[in-house]
Amino acid sequence: MKRFIPGWRGLTQLFAVTILPLTVLLLVIAFGGVNMHQQDMRALVGERDERAVQSSAAALESELHHRVATITSMAVLASENLTFEEIFATTNDLAIDFNGEIAFLDSDGRLLANTGNDSFWGWVSQNAQSLSLASLSDRETVFSDPILDPNSGQLFVIVSAYSASRNVIVAGAFSPESLANETLSTTYPAGSHVTIFLLDKSRRLLFVSGVLEHATLEPNHPGVTEALQGGSGVLYVKKENTEHVVAYSPVESTGWALITEEEWEMVISPSLQLTQMAPLVVVPAFILALIAIWFGARQIVQPLQKLESKAAALAWGDFEAIKESVGGILEVQHLQMELTEMSRKVQAAQEGLHDYIGAITSAQEDERMRLARELHDETIQSVIALKQRVQLAEKLVKDQKGKQSLQELESLAEQTVENLRRLIRALRPIYLEDLGLVTALDMLARETSQNNHLIVDFQKTGEERRFSREEELSLYRIAQEALNNVVKHSKATHADLKIIFEDAEIKMEVRDNGNGFIMPKSPTELAPSGHFGLLGVHERADLIGARLEMESTLGKGTRLQVRL
């Protein structure tokens, strides 16, 4: 027996020197891989929830804007001397969004007509002053705080607008619970692990759905204060033995807060349990550890890294990047499928918004054309006739002071005609219709130079060719808005307007030597930072499929380029 002891010692030393350190290293690597896996999945789930809650808040905003548009349309119809019944009949298809019905009230809050829910609107009429429905100004649309119907016990929000010409208030009531249930069901289908909370600005719970549906939401619940202050993001909150992901985003139109909460381990717990059991298999530890590391790197880490880069591209509007498969384990593939579906819904929402903006832009141009025609056919002709009458009167008047007054009146009439013609050219670019884009841009540059303390140089490069009416009008309006911004905001002394015709594309550029400004990081930040004109330029470029590039440096000016 003694002769075998050194052999056992040698094996023990071999184990202690090689196998044991490798096993320990394997365990360290395995547990480290598990921890990294958890952190990556934790972060990815957080990013997914944050994007989902922002998308859902945007969907709620869209539905609220749709209801505002309906009430505004009815207020406009009210100014056309239609009866209330005719208005209700005209807007019957639009009124289905108001499950609390629609009513007309006078400026003192008395009920004039309604489509139903008599008991509720009777109560609203009696309490109109306390509900601030009788203090609307012209063209103002107001969301009320959630109102509890004393008859049905249901919460309603009233959207109201004032028609000054008829001195009536149009009001529509809808249930925030029904709105949330219909809007959020596509993003958060039944059976998901996500709990949704919708609160008003007084922290009253308007809607709750999900696995924690019967739980109470504390006023100081994580994310509530941040969302009510206009912020959006994600928080990780410890609850008992688990960690929950809390995502939050504001609904800015009404000052509401949208909160989602889920236990992030529920998304990945099966794969994590299997991964955590792997280090316990010590017998074939070394080989299995190598296999596990290889498998984890090939099937989990690399796909997650690819998915992370694609998710980052998705955040910048590249909807095609997320569709390319990254492979990996089934959970990663499912996660990519969810992100792909979410991107499809966001893209569909953006396309719908673009269609809506396109319709608004078209209606705006039609209204400009109508207004230009009326100014040309009626107002200018009247002023010209007035000028001719003044000229006739001037010949009949013998008094020198009277003649001088009439001459001043004639000069004023002539100046008014010129101002009206300049206004008509701004509303309806006749050079664009008759002579094309290049001539219209040339005249725009000249008129801007003549009417402002600004030198605008126009340059054309390449052989001119015509485009569709929509494309030429959009390019002209973009140049017009850009030069208006230079005049109003840049304090520039010189600007360049260039149009370059190439074989494959057309480029239009506006450059100035003004004071510049800080460019937002993405187009979504143009409206919050107050750059509504640039937002309109961006939307017009999108509508014709053009690429817009903007560069600005403080103290060195701004460059705007459109490539079609």
Question: 124-168, pLDDT tens digit by residue?
Answer: 888 877 666 645 555 466 888 898 888 888 899 999 888 888 888
Q: Range with the lowest mean pLDDT among 38-42, 171-175, 339-343, 426-430? A: 426-430
In a domain, 5, yes or no: no
Q: Which of 397, 558, 399 is nearest to 486 (CA)?
A: 558
pLDDT tier at 8, thresholds 50, 70, 90: very low
In a domain, 420, yes or no: no
pLDDT value for 457? 92
Domain end residue (candidates: 241, 275, 309): 275
- The percentage of residues in the chain with a pLDDT greater than 70, rounded to a whole number, is 76
pLDDT value for 2? 37
In a domain, 409, yes or no: no
Are residues 200 and 220 in contact, defined by beta-carbon separation less than 8 angstroms?
Answer: no
**CATH code of the domain covering residue 507:** 3.30.565.10
In a domain, 107, yes or no: yes
In a domain, 537, yes or no: yes
Task: Say which residue, 138 or 66, is predicted with more confidence.
Answer: 66
Answer whether residue 11 shows pLDDT above 60: no
Question: 315-364, pLDDT tens digit by residue?
Answer: 655 677 777 787 778 887 888 788 888 877 777 766 665 665 556 666 66
Report the number of distinct structural domains present in the chain: 2
In a domain, 411, yes or no: no
Q: Please state, in angstroms and rounded to a whole number, the distance separating the CA atoms of residues 355 and 374.
A: 29
pLDDT value for 134? 47
What's the average model confidence in pLDDT over 229-251? 88
Answer whether residue 7 shows pLDDT above 50: no
**CATH code of the domain covering residue 258:** 3.30.450
Per the listing, tokens 């109102």 go with 147
In this structure, the chain runs to a length of: 564
Domain end residue (candidates: 225, 247, 275): 275
In a domain, 358, yes or no: no
Q: Range with the lowest mean pLDDT among 171-175, 240-244, 286-290, 322-326? A: 286-290
Q: Which of 402, 357, 409 is nearest to 383 (CA)?
A: 409
Q: Which of 498, 463, 461 is nearest to 479 (CA)?
A: 498
Answer whether residue 387 shows pLDDT above 90: no
pLDDT value for 247? 92
pLDDT tier at 61, thresholds 50, 70, 90: very high
Q: Which of 273, 289, 271 is nearest to 281 (CA)?
A: 289
- The percentage of residues in the chain with a pLDDT greater than 90, rounded to a whole number, is 10
Q: Please state, in angstroms and rounded to a whole number, the distance separating the CA atoms of residues 534 and 42.
A: 38
Whole-number Cα distances in Å, 21 to 14, 15, 24, 529: 10, 8, 5, 58
Q: Range with the lowest mean pLDDT among 84-98, 368-382, 544-558? A: 368-382
pLDDT value for 278? 56
Is the model's pTM score more than 0.85?
no
Are residues 252 and 230 in contact, defined by beta-carbon separation less than 8 angstroms?
Answer: yes
pLDDT value for 157? 92
Long-range CB contacts for residues 452-456, cutoff 8 Å, separation at least 24: 452/487, 453/493, 454/486, 454/487, 454/492, 454/493, 454/494, 454/495, 455/493, 455/494, 455/495, 456/483, 456/494, 456/495, 456/496, 456/497
In a domain, 544, yes or no: yes
Residue 99 domain boundaries: 48-275
pLDDT value for 1? 38
Domain end residue (candidates: 275, 305, 329): 275
User: Three-state SS string across 141-154, please?
Assistant: EEECCCEECCCCCC
What's the average model confidence in pLDDT over 431-448? 82
Answer whether residue 105 shows pLDDT above 50: yes
